[in-house]
Amino acid sequence: MSKLKLGINGFGRIGRLVFREAIKQNIEVVGVNDLLEVDHLAYLLKYDSVHGRFDGKIEVNNGHLVVNGKSIRVTAEKDPRNLKWNEVNADIIADCTGIFKTLETANYHIEAGAKKVVVSAPSKDIPMFVMGVNHKDIKASQTIISNASCTTNCLAPMAKVIDDNFGLEEGLMTTIHATTATQLTVDGPSRKDYRSGRSALINIIPASTGAAKAVGKVIPKLDGKLTGMAFRVPTANVSVVDLTVRTEKETSLVEIKKAFKDASENEMQGIMGYTEEKVVSQDFVSETRICVFDADAAIELNSKFFKIVGWYDNEYAYSVKLLELAEIMHSL
């Protein structure tokens, strides 16, 4: 298989971390598109308040980003149809803008010469895939896919383990979610809803999320069995899924822990982790597994009713899984 040549559209939190991980994995990044000037992009790539300094050399030369001696094309096009991805032989585009998340708009990259696209956001009409859940269903004929949301990436593997082993009758999810770029540091108006405009620095903010319902898109048999909400909290990174489930079969917390441990060591190795340590959120900064089951935090009410907990780096692990999907697409 030829080496994957990756283009990145949108150089925000996810775009930059996709870039960092691509360099680590020796994936060739051939182009970056963002409306910010290249010197500013280089600065944001070099220094990161959460994940630390970039491990390598970053320079700017003649409008190009030069990373570890390799020159990378940088453009500032609002319309992806003008990106001419064929000129840099881009195989797959990671669209990390959060804007082009329909089949029609994501296809702009194909029109511009790219072969395939992975979108870093859930979508209403783009097929969604989650590593460890339905990634084996990706077909060679699919040119555009979505990596769903970071929360769905954590929740769906948890739901799958429960359903595969004990049957998932119904469940409610709460994600205690770190702040994101859409939030405000001081109170102000929000397009989404009144509460979302309140200061992210000093508030726990209830918010809606489609992450739980989206599990039904990647595990169709669970459609309608899960829903949930979010609490945005004043932390910079790392979130946690709190999933309360009713199982179809009678079981025990011991058996549930065993099922998660087995999954983490076998079919979900590298995707799901398992820990019995006394961990907190900061222990998972830059974690590459998208869900780490916290055995010590799980509780049982009765033989069919349980609360389970999974940690996830909503920035880094999500970016890693997006790249894994890109590699799968490239191999088909």
- 89 labelled binding-site residue: no
Q: In one letter, which amino acid is 309?
A: V
Q: Is 22 helix (H, G, I), strand (E, B) or coil?
A: helix
- Provide CB contacts within 8 A for 38, sequence distance 6+: 60, 63, 64, 65, 74
Tokens encoding 200: 């992210």
Q: Nearest Cα to 327, choosing from 72, 116, 120?
A: 116
- 190 labelled binding-site residue: no
Task: State the CB neighbour count (10 A cutoff) for residue 50.
Answer: 16
- 314 labelled binding-site residue: yes
- 102 labelled binding-site residue: no
- 288 labelled binding-site residue: no
Q: In one letter, which amino acid is 239?
A: S
Q: Nearest Cα to 162, choosing from 68, 246, 220, 51?
A: 246
- 52 labelled binding-site residue: no
Rounded-to-5 percentages of helix, strand, coil across the chain: 30, 30, 40
- 210 labelled binding-site residue: yes
- 151 labelled binding-site residue: yes
Positive or negative: CA dihedral 265, 174, 94, 61: negative
Q: Which of 96, 150, 154, 291 is catalytic?
A: 150
Q: Is 150 a catalytic residue?
A: yes
Q: Nearest Cα to 321, choosing from 168, 153, 104, 119?
A: 153
Annotated binding site for D-glyceraldehyde 3-phosphate: 149-151, 180, 209-210, 232
The binding site comprises: 13-14, 34, 120, 149-151, 180, 209-210, 232, 314
Catalytic residue numbers read: 150
Q: Which residues are annotated as a binding site for NAD(+)?
A: 13-14, 34, 120, 314
